Amino acid sequence: MNATGNIEREEPKDHWGMLIVRGRIVLDLGCGRTYQQEITTPEYFLNSGASRVIGVELQENEKKWFDRNVTDSRLLVITDKVDTAEKLMFYVDAYCPDVIKCDIEGDEKILEDFDFTGIGEIAIEYHSPEMKKMIEENFSRWGFDKIELFSMNLFDFQKQGVIYLVKL
């Protein structure tokens, strides 16, 4: 599969701009800040019209930063490591997201046997050729009709990029 787009920067608009979030609930897995960002992904999704953003981040200091700096009541940030399909299912059942942004630094393997019923759109940052291949091989089994691949020019395209899946 060839790339359909290029991601030039870590800015959420460039990195996750393919997601349609207006009026939708977003589950933002890996919502923490990076030194390259001017705005966080939860803030970007809220500014783009998301009705609610559930951010899940491994680092407690990131949750504390959001609690101090983002006062929007539509945002809930939780400290947790989403490293099992059961944990992911807990968040999907609890918050009923329409959209998932997944940047969980190599734990994408939990998606392989996940039930994506009710999820219409997901963007997954993959971190290895094996994860890229697993996602490409399973997207239709998961019920998605459309797949787009975005290369990250800062990294080796085969090792890291974003795969965008949509149910039409």
Domains (ranges, CATH) in the chain?
Answer: 5-166 (3.40.50.150)
**Does 88 have pLDDT greater than 90?**
yes
Section 1-7 average pLDDT: 60
Query: How far is Cα 89 from Cα 71, in angstroms, rounded to an integer?
Result: 27
Query: What's the pLDDT tens digit per position in 92-104?
Result: 999 999 999 999 9
Which one is predicted more confidently, 5 or 143?
143
Query: What's the pLDDT tens digit per position in 13-58?
Result: 888 999 999 999 999 999 988 766 778 999 999 999 999 999 999 9
Query: How far is Cα 32 from Cα 30, in angstroms, rounded to an integer?
Result: 6
pTM: 0.92
